[in-house]
Amino acid sequence: MTIHKEGYKTIAWSAIIFGIINILSFYLLSFTDPIISYLVFIVTLGLFLFIISFFRIPKRNFTVDENAIIAPCDGKVVVIEEVQADEYFSDRRIQVSIFMSPLNVHVNRNPVSGDVTYSQYHKGKYLVAWNPKSSTENERHTVVYRKNGKEVLAKQIAGALAKRIVNYLQPGQKVKQNDEMGFIKFGSRVDLLLPLDAQIKVKIGDKPKAGVTVVATW
């Protein structure tokens, strides 16, 4: 397991705050209220370890399949439905939404290899990520991939806790399946918009893993 580059600054500041709080706790409480000082250490250590784990990149054996659309993130499948596309596409598509809790790995990966034909950031609200309106009203970044004349859209969506979306892709860029698309800090969701003839391989409640789980084939 390694630590993602997006976490270096956050972890460094967390370590400084952790140290300051516990130094003050030791000098102010350890002799008069040692139990409280000990509890402060346990709670702050737990929070610090949580922040480190949030930016983890576990080792995985990625699924490489030119006919498959691979999960762009870890999480839980919360939506599978036919929808009218509201960005880039003008037709109907199958939407597959994966909700990420703060405990999930938050690296986002390319679901397919191909050319990036669209990459657009949108400012917005911070509704809870499972709210259907979050797909169109929340802060988000949309990427469209084209492969063999077919296109798939991936939308990173911020949530109530997620306050920063990072995306590394630019239009015209050629990308490989499972390479990093970006990162969302502290919980959110990723929507996929797939062609209507895509064969969905997941169901509501499934817990896919980024770069491993086949969401659909085409």
Structure confidence at residue 21 (pLDDT): 96
Whether residue 166 contacts residue 203, with contact meaning beta carbons closer than 8 Å, is answered with no
Q: Is 1 helix (H, G, I), strand (E, B) or coil?
A: coil
The active-site residue out of 14, 37, 135, 188 is: 188
- Mean of pLDDT values over 158-178: 86
CA–chain centroid gap for 61, Å, is 19
């938050």: which residue's tokens?
A: 106
- Mean of pLDDT values over 151-170: 85
pLDDT above 70 as % of the chain = 91
Structure confidence at residue 33 (pLDDT): 87
Give tens-digit pLDDT for 181-202.
999 887 688 999 999 999 999 9
Res 163 pLDDT > 80: no
For residue 57, the surrounding DSSP H or E stretch is strand 56-57
Give yes or no: 30 in active site: no
Under CATH, what is the fold of the domain 68-217?
Glucose Permease (Domain IIA) (2.70.70)
Mean pLDDT of the chain: 90
Give tens-digit pLDDT for 46-77.
999 999 988 999 999 999 999 999 999 999 99
DSSP for 4-38, please give it: -GGGHHHHHHHHHHHHHHHHHHHHHHTTT-HHHHH
Exposure on the CB side of residue 163, measured as CA atoms within 13 A: 1
pTM recorded for the entire structure: 0.85
Structure confidence at residue 144 (pLDDT): 98
Which residues, at least 6 apart from 110, have a Cβ–Cβ distance to it below 8 Å?
72, 145, 154, 175, 176, 177, 178, 179, 180, 181
- Mean of pLDDT values over 19-23: 95
CA dihedral 131, 180, 104, 210 (to 10 degrees): 90
How much is the CA Rg of the chain, to the nearest whole Å? 20
Structure confidence at residue 187 (pLDDT): 65
Give tens-digit pLDDT for 110-120.
999 999 999 99
Give the domain ranges of the chain: 2-57, 68-217
Structure confidence at residue 138 (pLDDT): 75
Res 160 pLDDT > 70: no
Structure confidence at residue 123 (pLDDT): 85
